[in-house]
Amino acid sequence: MTDRTDRAPPLPCRWTGGEFKPWNLDLARKYYKPGGTYDLVVHDERSQASHNAYFASLDTRWQTLPFGLEPEYPSRESLRHKALIRCGYTVEHDFVLPSDAAATLFAHALIEADDEVYTVVEVRGCVVRRYRAQSQSYRAMGKKIFEESKQAVLDYIDRELLGVSPPQAEERR
């Protein structure tokens, strides 16, 4: 039996009052060793309605962006990704280059290689920092963080890009 818990899919279990019983015993046997100790993490399903409302709100906001922002936000997804980055829901990678000039060249190469509408690249001296948005997929982000990031993104777009204060933003929704 191979210990493959690093890639184990979610395993729903039922609490009997004395033990957790997996719903799919074959799956449990495939990924977990008898006698092994594993952390149990509560997974709160986020609602499809909340997910759909979020993307509808993003679409509305994207369609009402002020003139001139189209190059930076050519799609709803580019708006979402960059807003996630600006709100701190990001994965960062630093690259240290031998010189400022090499960093500038490398940054341009990164922008060309990456989809620039989904990433943000900054150069500070000989350091290049690439920001990519954290995934909001069901698998990557639980209910609590999804709801926090969703609100942060919508508030950021309202305040910073549309110039609408939070009370006015509530009236729009």
Q: Which residues of the chain have pLDDT under 50?
A: 1-5, 169-170, 172-173
pTM: 0.67
pLDDT digits (tens, 9 = 90+) for 143-164: 889 999 999 999 999 999 999 8
Rounded to whole angstroms, the Cα distance separating 6 from 35 reads 17
Distances (CA, A) of 146 to 79, 89, 142: 17, 10, 6
Segments making up each domain of the chain, as ranges: 1-41, 48-172
Rounded to whole angstroms, the Cα distance separating 42 from 61 reads 33
pLDDT digits (tens, 9 = 90+) for 85-106: 999 999 999 999 999 999 999 9
